[in-house]
Amino acid sequence: MQLTSDGAWLIGARQVLSPNCDERPADGDVSLIVVHGISLPPGEYGGPWIDDFFTNRLECAVHPYFEEIEGMRVSSHILIRRDGELVQYVPFTRRAWHAGQSCYQGREACNDFAIGIELEGQDDTPYADIQYRRLADLIRLLRRRFPAIGDDAIVGHSDVAPGRKTDPGPAFDWSRLKTLLA
């Protein structure tokens, strides 16, 4: 696993460019990783819907759930699919719109200083072995590029938006990730 020389892109990841991003603020040094869980529609895996959602092309008539998220403008830096495929939507050097209203250690607006990593999955379904391995490899790589990301700065969406978000959920094994990062 390797980044481009400017640290913006993961070499070998499929790129699907999302318009839902912008420049980080001047004080937006990357110092946090937020782990998310997503499946579209909920509980279904492998379709084109996540790509479509992050690129504002989701056909809302296809599934009743899509009508609930119609008009949302969100993205993430990268998605790790259940089969281990890596899909990058936003350069790591730009601000993806993944955490929404959020706070980490008293600092609000986590998108300003975080990298958002989506795992294809849902709160109550175990994530795949390959997803943990890819996630650990990616975190190690990102830490080399962004050394301000400390051991305690890898959190779930639920940690930065408690009460509003639950992902990656109780099925995500934080101790397993910690072991892989050791």
- Residue 146 belongs to a domain: yes
pLDDT at 172: 98
Domain of 12, CATH number, reads 3.40.80.10
- Type of residue found at 39: S
As a whole number of angstroms, the distance between CA 124 and CA 90 comes to: 27
Q: Give per-10-residue mean pLDDT for the chain (182 aa).
A: 96 98 91 98 96 97 95 97 98 97 96 98 97 98 96 96 96 98 94
Average model confidence (pLDDT) across the chain? 96
Between CA 43 and CA 154 the distance in angstroms is 25
Which residues belong to the active site? 118
Q: What is the pLDDT of residues 98-135, one digit of tens each?
A: 999 999 999 999 999 999 999 999 999 999 999 999 99
pTM exceeding the 0.75 threshold for the entire prediction: yes
Residue 111: which of 38, 69, 160, 158 has the closest Cα?
A: 160
Q: Is residue 83 domain-resident?
A: yes
Q: 62 in a domain, yes or no?
A: no
Whether the CB-CB separation of 51 and 65 falls below 8 Å is answered with no
59 within domain boundaries: no
What are residue 93's phi and psi, to 5 degrees? -80, -10
Task: Tell me if 133 is assigned to some domain.
Answer: yes
Total structural domains within the chain: 1
Q: Within a domain: residue 94?
A: yes
Q: Tell me which residue range forms the domain holding 103.
A: 2-16+29-37+76-181
